Chain A
Amino acid sequence: MSATATATTALPIATGNWKIDTIHSHVGFAVKHMVVSTFRGRFEDYAGSLATSEDGRPVLQGSVKVDSILVKDENLAGHLKSPDFFDSERHPEIRFSSTAVAVAEDGGLEVEGDLTIKGHTHRVTARGSITGPHVDIAGNDKLGVELEAIVDRREYGLEWNAPLPKGGFALDNDVKLEVSLELVREA
């Protein structure tokens, strides 16, 4: 995809204010463990919007409650909330705010922005697609946004790991953030 090359910051398909419909959205992550297996988790409590700023630029922002992390194993969820990982007691929220949104003619989407996890803020680039607007059966204007970004969890202070008995490490450092959003136009 070459979103940057054909980018337009005017984003004509998404002017106005759009709010994430959390019933139909997904905010999650995937990380390799035991060298070859992939583990996925998600967050249940989050909010966000795509809005047009005063200068006409689109801004995508959102926040996630760390304690809403959902994984299959209760003990693992507890470990992920602990200081080894997110330290949700001291850092209850993950935040993202875009600095640049670029849409290609083919719907390719590139979003650059600041991601804050556990008190660490870093610039990330997420790539994916945007579809719509589309009027749903209830008469609402909707946009679909898919984004993925890969981050090194150690940059955000999520440093836990353990060497495996036969070589390699328990958990990969690269984590894929997977966001699938349905946005509804605000009246």
Chain B
Amino acid sequence: MRILGLSGSLRRDSHNTSLLRGAGKLLPAGVELEVFDRLAQIPPYSEDLEHETPPAVAALRAAIAGADAVLVATPEYNASIPGALKNALDWVSRPIATTPLRDKPVAVVGASTGLFGAVWAQAELRKVLATIGARVIDRELPIGQADEALGPDGLPVERDVVEQLSATLDELLELTAPSRLAA
């Protein structure tokens, strides 16, 4: 089973990219998490460009299609979703009838250096993803003061936050394979 990690931050030492890698360490055996690393190559969406899909957009569509679930980790810019991430989702949402996000299990988490852990960006992301047709877990994980809240391995320092991240992943896996867990 594969989970695609999508970080909303383009920064090399991004807390959110780190958080995705940390989440990967909590997954059970047999579940892999791969982080998409071409967000910066996705051009601003325009219908004029749709006839010839930009390679990075095609790569993201393929990565989502090939994954059993998506885990998004986002920072927050001005109380909302970073432009590059929203732009990527706008690309992937088109055409709406065949978007690889349709019915895809998705969970959203987020980290910020401020107090509020990108909580509003996460809420807006859940709204956008649900609008696109994804099956979005109704759960938030705001990790504030990320400089101290995340360890070098990307895992939250506090045990209860690790437990919340685990619970989010459990719910994501449950949504992915209900029959497997029921067996």
Of B115, B119, B142, which one neighbours A73 at CB under 8 angstroms? B115
Given contacts A34-B144, A162-B79, A165-B140, contact A73 B116 (CB under 8 A): no
A165 partner residues in chain B, CB cutoff 8 A = 119-120, 122-123, 140
Provide the A9-32 mask, 1 if CB < 8 A to any CB of B, else 0: 000000000000000000000000
B144 partner residues in chain A, CB cutoff 8 A = 33-34, 37
Check A75–B113 contact: CB distance below 8 A. Answer: yes
Interface residue? B50 (CB, 8 A): no
Check A33–B113 contact: CB distance below 8 A. Answer: no
CA distance in complex: A149, B136 (Å): 44
Given contacts A34-B115, A162-B120, A165-B140, contact A73 B145 (CB under 8 A): yes
Nearest residue in B to A166 (C-beta to C-beta)? Answer: B140
A73 partner residues in chain B, CB cutoff 8 A = 113-115, 145, 147
Looking at chain A's contact residues, the main secondary structure is loop
A164 partner residues in chain B, CB cutoff 8 A = 119
Interface residue? A170 (CB, 8 A): yes
Looking at chain B's contact residues, the main secondary structure is loop
A47 partner residues in chain B, CB cutoff 8 A = none
Interface residue? A1 (CB, 8 A): no
Check B119–A72 contact: CB distance below 8 A. Answer: no
Interface residue? A100 (CB, 8 A): no
Interface residue? B148 (CB, 8 A): yes
Interface residue? B100 (CB, 8 A): no
Interface residue? B117 (CB, 8 A): yes
Interface residue? A135 (CB, 8 A): no
A162 partner residues in chain B, CB cutoff 8 A = 79, 120
B145 partner residues in chain A, CB cutoff 8 A = 72-73
A72 partner residues in chain B, CB cutoff 8 A = 145, 147-148
Check A75–B114 contact: CB distance below 8 A. Answer: yes
CA distance in complex: A72, B116 (Å): 13
CA distance in complex: A165, B120 (Å): 7
A33 partner residues in chain B, CB cutoff 8 A = 115-116, 144
CA distance in complex: A112, B21 (Å): 53
Distance to closest chain A CB from B148 (angstroms)? 7
Provide the A141-181 mask, 1 if CB < 8 A to any CB of B, else 0: 00000000000000000000010111000100000000000
The residue among A33, A34, A165 with the most chain B CB atoms within 10 A of its own CB is A165
Nearest residue in B to A163 (C-beta to C-beta)? Answer: B120
Provide the B99-126 mask, 1 if CB < 8 A to any CB of A, else 0: 0000000000000011111011011000
New contact pairs (17) apart from A72-B145, A75-B114, A76-B115, CB-CB < 8 Å: A33-B115, A33-B116, A34-B117, A34-B119, A37-B115, A39-B115, A72-B148, A73-B113, A73-B147, A76-B114, A162-B120, A165-B119, A165-B120, A165-B122, A165-B123, A165-B140, A166-B123
Q: Contact residues of B with A, CB < 8 Å?
A: 79, 113-117, 119-120, 122-123, 140, 142, 144-145, 147-148
Can you list 22 contacts pairing A with B, beta carbon distance less than 8 Å? Answer: A33-B116, A34-B115, A34-B116, A34-B117, A34-B119, A34-B142, A34-B144, A37-B115, A37-B144, A72-B147, A73-B114, A73-B147, A75-B113, A162-B79, A162-B120, A164-B119, A165-B119, A165-B120, A165-B122, A166-B123, A170-B115, A170-B119
Nearest 6 CB-CB pairings of A with B: A165-B123, A33-B115, A73-B113, A73-B114, A76-B114, A39-B115
